[in-house]
Amino acid sequence: MPKRILIIGLNWIGDAIMSMPAVQACRAENPDAHIALLVKPYLKPIWEMHAVPDQILTLDKMGTTISKVREYGFDTACILPNSFRSALVPALAGIHRRVGFKGDHRRLLLTEVVPVAGGHQSNEYYPIVAPESVGLVKELPELNIPETAFQTLETKFPNLGKNYAVLMPGAARGASKMWPLDHFERLARIVMEQTDLELVFAGGGGDSAACEALCRTLGGRTQSVAGQTSLQEWAALLKGASVAVANDSGGMHLAAAVDTPVVGIYGITDPEKTGPLARRYRVVQNSSVKARDISRNSERAAEALASISPDQVFNAVQELLK
């Protein structure tokens, strides 16, 4: 009987994308297995664009989720998050083999504990889901955007041109990862002065006010779609872009995953750990301080971000456009 593997996915867009190479390696090591993903509901659309999962389950109330997981008779749970709850679900669902990191006082909930690998964050997940592939040359994330996403994007935004850049000024982590908005405004003006690109501001619902304000100020060849796209439409938008500019954020990783040239703006987070998994990218960072975990309102991070000039970022954009 083929293996039945449940991968408990990560909770943020960027983290989910950084786990994809390891998930792809899991499929290569287990070509005949039934592989399911358990993720938060808002991340289901991103995994629907990925080739590996045979099944996507979504997190619900604890009891409902446990019953749902138990029903499908998985024999292995690969637990990517570090939380207690993520290990509790497969333990209570009766999955016999449970593999993950030991953090958050959950050691007794696991049957196998793996060490945290060094290097890029994407490396960390191989020992959990694809131990035979640890140390091998890694693939990039692979997303297949459905044609319906391009069609609905065009219906929603009929004025979207064919020659545009996407600017994404938001970051779920907050101010510690956000380049100042007036820097984004200046960058936009330089792009419009120096190129014929139209500018599309994108992001989630929490970014819409800032994006719309920037468009009102800039006028001209700008529009905002922030908060108006589904996740798959956002991917389609990025796929059609000549270049994308983003903070260290889910939007940056999404641009990388659809093979759009992307400029990532970093304060004090470490691009060696969380840089975009992409063929064509540039990282702009002035700080010699590099940290993995930072507070949401780090003054040092804000200062480092503010020190990055719009001209620096535009130079990176030009390199990618060449």
pLDDT of residue 178: 93
pLDDT of residue 137: 78
CA distance 57 to 37: 6
76 compared with 219, residue with greater pLDDT: 76
pLDDT of residue 253: 98
Residue 246, both tokens:
């983003």
The superfamily CATH assigns to domain 147-321 is Glycogen Phosphorylase B; (3.40.50.2000)
Mean pLDDT of the chain: 95
CA distance 105 to 82: 10
Element holding 313 (H helix, E strand): helix 310-321
Q: Which long-range contacts (CB under 8 A, 24 or more apart) does 218-225 make?
A: 218/185, 218/188, 218/189, 218/192, 220/192, 221/192, 221/197, 222/188, 222/192, 222/198, 223/157, 223/159, 223/160, 223/198, 223/199, 224/200, 225/156, 225/157, 225/200, 225/201
CATH number of the domain located at residue range(s) 4-133 in this protein: 3.40.50.2000
Break the chain into its structural domains and give their ranges.
Answer: 4-133, 147-321
- Exposed/middle/buried for 315, CB within 10 Å: 0-12, 13-18, 19+? middle
| Beta carbons of 248 and 170 less than 8 angstroms apart | no
> Model-level pTM?
0.95
CA distance 279 to 262: 9
pLDDT of residue 248: 95
CA distance 267 to 280: 20
* Torsion sign over Cα 102, 296, 290, 299: negative
Domains 4-133 and 147-321 share a fold: yes
pLDDT of residue 136: 83
**Which percentage of the chain shows pLDDT scores above 70?**
100
Q: What confidence category does residue 104 fall into, taking pLDDT thresholds of 50, 70 and 90?
A: confident
pLDDT of residue 138: 80
pLDDT of residue 1: 63
Q: What confidence category does residue 171 fall into, taking pLDDT thresholds of 50, 70 and 90?
A: confident
